[in-house]
Structure 1
Amino acid sequence: MTQLQPRLGPRDLIVAAVMNLMWGLNIIAVKMAVTEVQPFTAAFLRQAIVLAVCIGWLRIVPGKMRALLGLGLLTGGLFFLVINLSLVVATNVSALAIAGQLGVPFSMLLAVLVLKERIRVYRIVGVALSLLGVGILVFDPAVQHELAGIALTALSSAIWAFSSLIQRSLKGVPVLTIYGWIGLVGTLVLAPAALVFEPQGFAALPHIPLKSFGWVAFSAIGSTLIGHGSMSWLLQRHPVASVTPLTLASPVLSVAFASWFFATPLTWIMILGGVIALTGVAIITIRSARAGESRA
């Protein structure tokens, strides 16, 4: 077994920077994809690309198939139905990037309720700050018309949180095998949804413009495979407590990139809510990583 190294070298930091860049830019790619293609059709195409790339690693994993199929249904199917709809109904994508951080406290709460994990005061404060930060957005007049998008983003975060519990049981399964099953199940779930609700968009897939295909491909390959593949590579070389804090740059980049690309304003209420929410996420992320290391 390879000895994990707490110290991160220059190559590790470059990989972490690429990972955060892919995740930070992904919100632009998804918003553009659901604008130029239709939301369910774009989600189907994304999962089809993931499946095409990972199909060589698709295999039966004894004792893990129930978890893999459940993860595929939630992460590959339902999550993208909801998150793509949230981006269709929203114009201020930066607000959704902030609301998307609810996945971290939701995961923590589910771990307590379902897995009976014990958390101490620091992570309780982190959960409270995360919820407070997103809640502040509701009082911003600039995002009052984004409440439907924020609500859908919160729902997608809950789905992501359930998925994270399932993923805990898949330790040791190669990441490309996991994403092969996510791609397969997601494709099977999303194809009927796109065919029923977006028949014209689905039928137009063979004629999709290269630029529109590029947005979807970036999301599938850049965010899903390169981003999560980089995370997996780092976790194979370094302790969780060293790697997990590296992910905290991605939500900041998402908010900044979305505001710049779509020219949407960052009001002082959004900045306040974002800082509070991200502080809570940072506390939960770092303390959870340390707790996991102490149990290892």
Structure 2
Amino acid sequence: MTIAPRLGARDFAVAAVMNLLWGMNIIAVKMAVIEIPPMTAAFLRQTIVLAVCLSWLRIVPGRMKELLALGVLTGGAFFLVINLSMAVAENVSALAIAGQLGVPFSMLLAVIVFRERIHKYRIAGVALSIAGVAILVFDPAVVHELPGIALTVLGSAIWAVSSLIQRNLKGVPVMTMYAWIGLVGAAMLAPVALAFEPHGMRTIPAIPLSSFGWVAFSAIGSTLIGHGSMTWLLQRHPVALVTPLTLPSPVLSVLFASWFFETPLTPLMILGGIVALTGVAIITIRSARVREQRA
């Protein structure tokens, strides 16, 4: 496929849909864990991903260690931690801000593992991202959300490790990756949910269609369509053009969560969000330019 140097109207439309799906996903995940026990909801999400991607499931010679590790981290550990964070939190807008630490964590791991060199702009971005999340700790309105924030930070660290693994999976079809993520994730989460939420697992057939719909939205809308859109854009345009298009999604997550759940956005939350997202924007844009120069 030819790489186009400019973004057209169709590209912006795809990016808008992608950001809307990612932004609304925070509502879907929170509603899912309200109506379904969190581990059971995580198991159902991965089962849906596997069902949709099953025809793409295949052995990829020389890549199976990475695919299985990705399944363990992304399919199992990440969604277990994130669903638990959503279950214990009330103001999920704070979690949306804390979740942005995945970007600086990923970059710091790249420095440690791949010996990547970073300069003052990306160092400043890391500092701002961490400072923005740290501001939340001093907000009296968010103090009771600290367990959820801590779990979200842990989820961000897991996501960062997963992103490094994905860097070694170039050439593997996205749907094949998600087929393995769904398979390994469902296989991991099933015994955990059976052990800690036996009633939730037994009552899966009785889950109302509306509750099941929240899980399906996350699995199909956010995961498959959202990430599929990102892949489609990266196949058509330089990474330096595409990566900044993802920046609206965390802003939308915060705004959608505050609106839907009628939770307040305090001055400290707004300040922390602006600081954290500024740092993420710096890292994202500068890293995209660096990757483009090396390509």
TM-score under structure 1 length normalisation: 0.99
- Unaligned runs of 5+ residues in structure 2 are none
Q: How many Å separate the matches in 1 of 2:246 and 2:199?
A: 39
Structure 2 partner of 1:285: 284
Letter in 2 for 1:197: F
Letter paired with 1:111: A
1:14 paired to 2:16: no
Aligned to 1:197: 196
Alignment partner, residue 186 of structure 2:
187
**Does structure 1 residue 131 correspond to structure 2 residue 130?**
yes
Within 2, Cα distance between the matches of 1:247 and 1:101? Answer: 12
Matches within 5 A, 1:142-221: 142-221=141-220
Distance 1:95 1:160 in 2: 18
Identical aligned residues as a percent: 77
Map of 2:268 onto structure 1 = 269
Cα distance in 2 for residues equivalent to 1:17 and 1:6: 19
Distance 1:91 1:207 in 2: 26
- Find the counterpart in structure 1 of residue 253 from structure 2: 254
CA offsets, 1:176-222, max 9 Å, x none? Answer: 00100000000000000111100000000011100100000000000
Distance in structure 1 (CA, Å) of the matches to 2:119 and 2:173: 32
Counterparts of 2:277 and 2:57 in 1: how far apart (Å)?
Answer: 36
Measured after TM superposition, the shift of residue 3 of structure 1 is: 2.4
Q: Distance in 2 between matches of 1:248 and 1:270?
A: 18
The one-letter amino acid of 2:97's match is I
1:76 aligned partner? 75
Name the counterpart of 1:102: 101
Q: Deviations over 1:80-99 (max 9, x none)?
A: 11001101110000000000
Structure 2 Cα separation of the partners of residues 261 and 275 of structure 1 = 21
The aligned counterpart of 2:53 is 54
* Alpha-carbon distance in 2 for matches of 1:235, 1:268: 36
Within 5 Å, give how 1:26-37 maps onto structure 2: 26-37=25-36
Q: CA deviation at 1:115?
A: 1.1
Q: CA RMSD in A?
A: 0.5
- TM-score normalised by length of structure 2: 0.99
Q: Distance in 2 between matches of 1:191 and 1:212?
A: 19
Q: Which amino acid aligns with 2:62?
A: G
CA deviation profile, 1:212-269 (whole Å, cap 9, x unmatched): 0000000000000000000000000001000000000000000000000000000010
**SS across alignment from 2:141:** helix
Helix, strand or coil for the counterpart of 1:76? helix
CA deviation after TM superposition for structure 1 residue 114, in Å: 1.1
- Partner Cα separation in structure 2 for residue 80 and residue 6 of structure 1: 36
- 1-structure distance, mates of 2:96, 2:179: 27
Read off the aligned partner of 2:8 and give its amino acid letter: G
- In the other structure, the counterpart of 1:245 is 244
- Counterpart-to-counterpart distance in 2, 1:138 and 1:185: 35
Distance 1:16 1:171 in 2: 22
Aligned residues: 295
Q: Distance in 2 between matches of 1:288 and 1:184?
A: 32
Aligned partner letter, 1:221? I
In structure 1, how many angstroms separate the alpha carbons of the residues matched to 2:291 and 2:31?
37
**Which consecutive residues of structure 1, in runs of 5 or more, have no partner in the other structure?**
none
Tell me whether 1:87 sits opposite 2:90 in the alignment: no
Secondary structure of 1:141's partner?
coil
State the distance in 1 between where 2:82 and 2:2 align: 38
Secondary structure, aligned partner of 2:142: helix
Match of 1:119 in 2: 118
| 1:231 counterpart letter in structure 2 | M
User: Aligned partners of 1:3, 1:288: CA distance in 2, in Å?
Assistant: 23
Match of 2:2 in 1: 3
Post-superposition shift, 1:30? 0.3
Q: How far does residue 6 in structure 1 lie from its aligned partner after superposition?
A: 1.9
Partner of 1:227: 226
- How far the C-alpha of 1:70 sits from its partner, in A, is 0.3
- Give the Cα separation in 1 of the matches to 2:170 and 2:294: 15
Question: What amino acid sits opposite 2:65 in the alignment?
Answer: R
